Structure 1
Amino acid sequence: MSDDWTELYRPNNLDEVVGNPKAVASLRQWADAWSAGKPTKKAAVLIGTPGVGKTSAALALAREYGWDTVEMNASDQRNADAVKAVALRGALTQTFTDSGEFLSTLAGDLKLIILDEADNLSGKEDRGGVPALVEVVRNTKQPVILIVNDWYALSRKSSVLKSETEQIKFTSIKSVTIRGLLRKIAKDRGIIISDRALELLAENANGDMRSAIRDLQAVATGKTEVKDLDATSVSYREVEKTMYNVLDDILKSKDADRARRSLAEVDEPPDTKLLWIEENLPIAYRDHLDLYRGMKAVANADKYLGRVYRRQYFGFWSYAGDFLSYGVCAAKTREMHGFLRYNFPQYLMKMSRSKGVRAVQNSVCAKLGEAVHMSARQVKQDILPYYSRIYKSDPEFALKTSLDLELEQEEIAYILGEKIDAAAVKRIMKEMAPPAEEKAAKEKKAAKPKEKKRAPVNQSTLF
């Protein structure tokens, strides 16, 4: 019972991947093109929320087609050197079996390069990872799969990743599908489980198959029978969908008490709840007076949140919550019906997506600050805007300072305001390459120990 059931029951082939038949069919079609030696897109991107089977599908694909695998995940360092050393080298070279047998790509013997959580390539630790990833996608001779949760966060960094990859969408798995798989696992483990317990586990997983299997293992460990009461000990998976349900209770229903309870149950800070409601209130309330009253309630909630931070009296949180639930719910004159497509708060989205950009900006300011003997903060305020303008307009200045500051490709792209694979960025990188090679050659020559001069063979000696 100590084995991880998510690994023990991982699919062995694509037919065993449940819940996303269209995605599996697209993935198989892409793999067939590779097997035939005629792939239209060399890399595939598996897109979806955690636990919907993206990684399992990639590994099942490799097993079904008999391909070897090279994996990189979020726990690995994935800067430029690491991606080139692992993913790029694996994508450009041939492979061997575990027994040492050579596998030829021309004969259809391929290996699958899997980069998990590719959308998390950001920050100082993964510097240069995106340009290296672009190089992998463009030049690979082996099939490549990128696994992402937020596709936009990755595609916005490079147009190549958007235009030269096959995007395959995985959706949340339905509870009835989860229930069927859990029943099979319980039967295989010799565990008797009630239908109600299976239903509770499937609903609590909220579309996450991996979580459902782990919940089943948690409640079944050390038991031969799982009852309804055992399944109630598993908490509901709090994900973004929960906030969407809360918005339905507040913006559609006229039941203010239910709206208040629903908002209180969400494990989010009050200021985040305010952002969700403020973002989606204009979508739901089309009547101008309803929208006015709703926004006035949001403004009052914001006023109390400000008092919380100013006075450090957190009792005001309850007042803010009442305005966001009671106030907004009561602002409409009638119940709302029909489907509403809610938006994720733009502020949170921009802050999340700008994390990598801010890391590059800090790196550029630090290098400039070291050169001009100023703090990075001062450089950001007083120098960076003018430096960027001169950098864009003067190619000689751009090349010289790039070499002097040892700027990387992502930093050059940031200064120019371009994507990392833009023509202007490539031109500067190409111009920087020869001096870099000469510098490396000089360093290698300087590091080489000097050979002692040998005496000529015909030299006379005392002996």
Structure 2
Amino acid sequence: MQTIATEEKITKESINELSERETVEQVKNALLRIFKTTSAEVALPAFEYVDEDVDGLLLWIDENIAKEYKLPADLARAYDALAEADKLFGRIRRSQYYRYYVYIYNLLTAGIALAKDKKYSGMEEYKPTNRILKLWIYNQKNAKRKALAETLAPKLHTSKKNIIHNTLPFLKIIARKNPVFRKQFIDEYRLPAEQAEWLLK
């Protein structure tokens, strides 16, 4: 918060910018933990406190995995784990079966870590995806969901990540099926129009 504190006026944009920078650092540290271990126990909690959606994590890993894993066999196994996680994420979107999240995070952490036979030496600079179109589509798709999570998190006394993964999927289903509940919820939490609209899509 020091960067913001030195500014004459604290703005929503400056807070969001700081939050984005912190998320980038969180993801980089998590990737370092995964890529530099061959222990499932070390890798599994890597994303526990990372404020990023599965969509974003898939893009991060896809972008950086080839920088770290040099042997073809290691790389192939890692991409197999990544592809399986992506497949399960697609099933969540289609079937709303959210228990797949457990398997997805296992694949993105322990699955990637154990894909290599031994740790690689040296340090790589992990970077966000340079696939601009993919990233733009991802950001557009998730902007309203993230905004809604940011609105609800302090009011429900939980994290934005928890809201996204454990609350919004069920909230969206209930809101679609129960107009009375939807109106009461929107009014009670004073949701902006674009966030209220997201509940119906």
1:239 to 23, 27, 31: 23
Larger proportion of helix: 2
CA gap 1:265/1:55 in 2 versus in 1, 3 angstroms: closer
1:245: Cα distance to partner?
0.8
1:333 to 100, 117, 136: 117
Contact 2:35 2:112 in 1 (8 A): yes
1:238: Cα distance to partner?
5.4
Q: Return the structure number with greater relative CO, CA threshold 8 A, min gap 6.
A: 2
Q: Which amino acid aligns with 1:329?
A: A
1:301: Cα distance to partner?
0.5
- With normalisation by structure 1, the TM-score equals 0.26
Gaps of 5+ in 2: 141-201
* Equivalences for residues 148-297 of structure 1 within 5 A: 239-297=23-81
Gaps of 5+ in 1: 1-49, 60-70, 76-115, 121-148, 150-207, 209-236, 356-463
**Other-structure match for 1:134:** none
Task: State the distance in 2 between where 1:304 and 1:274 align.
Answer: 12
1:259: Cα distance to partner?
0.8
**Other-structure match for 1:139:** none
Q: Which amino acid aligns with 2:97?
A: Y
CA gap 1:309/1:53 in 2 versus in 1, 3 angstroms: closer
Is 2:133 the partner of 1:351? no
**Other-structure match for 1:321:** 105
| Identity value in percent | 30
Contact 1:249 1:259 in 2 (8 A): yes
1:258: Cα distance to partner?
1.5
Is 2:7 the partner of 1:52? no
Task: State the distance in 2 between where 1:54 and 1:282 align.
Answer: 39
* Equivalences for residues 368-383 of structure 1 within 5 A: none
1:266: Cα distance to partner?
2.0
1:282: Cα distance to partner?
0.8
Is 2:68 the partner of 1:305? no
Q: Once superposed, what is the RMSD of the aligned Cα atoms? A: 3.3
Structure 1 residues 351-397: Cα deviation after superposition (integer angstroms, max 9, x where no partner): 18x97xxxxxxxxxxxxxxxxxxxxxxxxxxxxxxxxxxxxxxxxxx
Larger Rg: 1
Q: Which amino acid aligns with 1:316?
A: Y
Task: State the distance in 2 between where 1:285 and 1:296 align.
Answer: 13
For residue 45 of structure 2, give the secondary structure of its aligned residue in structure 1: helix
- With normalisation by structure 2, the TM-score equals 0.57
